[in-house]
Structure 1
């Protein structure tokens, strides 16, 4: 018999537990713009949550990943203000023209490669891509500027 997973509403500041293949647990906090910040801290259980707001990376994530219940919400950490709830700027590289843009707070503006250097490439990730990256497999992280 298959266990039913309850779908839920996404709330800014919710902290999700992400079960890893090695038996450990990673955590992610929901941000605006359909993003999740993955904590640097890796815990031993769902109760072993991060004590600091220190993140490995911030990426876009498909809504169904957070709504499915696959990653249970284990905490809620409200943002101090609206500005803090926005993810950092991300880079967009046009595949045809090779031109660079910065994406931040729902807006895109022309940019240079120097401004994009070291930034996350804007993309929306599936759950398994995020788990792979947490586990050290960087095949999904292909920023030619890093």
Structure 2
């Protein structure tokens, strides 16, 4: 029986796409993954830079299921860079905004949240849909 590898910050996972190509995601702190801009033709066709399409929360099951194989660990240059960028929280009923960053939530304005990812944790299929240019992942974001 193979021992499961424990996820570490900097781990890179290959994400099989319906086209037969692979996207790649790098684990940040806070259960977040950065999806590289580069898509490869094979598991070893890895990104050569650290440019991301988007950086979002992902359920741990996406990384532990084995559907996204671990390919390598790329340590971050500094501990500060291990943290994902700030994300936005909106309390729809109250019409209030907040920013989530490094495990902390602080009040914010709608303007301060412009351009930020919504603080959410996504299923694997929604991340793949977003990589492929689909919009099913946005259904829960209606009214944003």
> TM (normalized to structure 1)?
0.91
Gaps in structure 2 of 5+ consecutive residues: none
What secondary structure does 1:103 align onto?
A: strand
C-alpha contact (below 8 Å) 1:13/1:77 kept by paired residues = yes
Q: Unaligned stretches of 5+ in structure 1?
A: none
Counterpart residue number, 1:63: 60
Q: Which has the higher helix share?
A: 2
| Structure 2 Cα separation of the partners of residues 123 and 98 of structure 1 | 17
1:37 aligned to 2:15? no
1:48 is aligned to 2:45: yes
Q: RMSD in angstroms over aligned alpha carbons?
A: 1.6
| TM-score, scaled to structure 2 | 0.93
Number of residue-to-residue matches in the alignment? 142
Give the whole-Å Cα distance in 2 for the aligned partners of 1:6 and 1:57.
Answer: 31
Deviation at 1:95, TM superposition (A): 2.2
Structure with the larger strand share: 2
Partner of 1:139: 136
Provide runs of 4+ in structure 1 moved above 6 Å: none
Q: 1:23 aligns with which of 20, 24, 29?
A: 20
Superposition deviation, residue 78 in structure 1: 0.2
1:71–1:5 CA distance, 2 compared to 1 (3 A): farther
Q: Aligned in 2, Cα 1:129/1:85: closer, same or farther, shift over 3 Å?
A: same
| Residue 92 in structure 1 maps to residue 89 in structure 2 | yes
Post-superposition CA distance 1:62-91 (Å, at most 9, x none) = 111112221111111001111000000000
Query: Alpha-carbon deviation of 1:143?
Result: 7.3
Offset of residue 139 of structure 1: 3.0
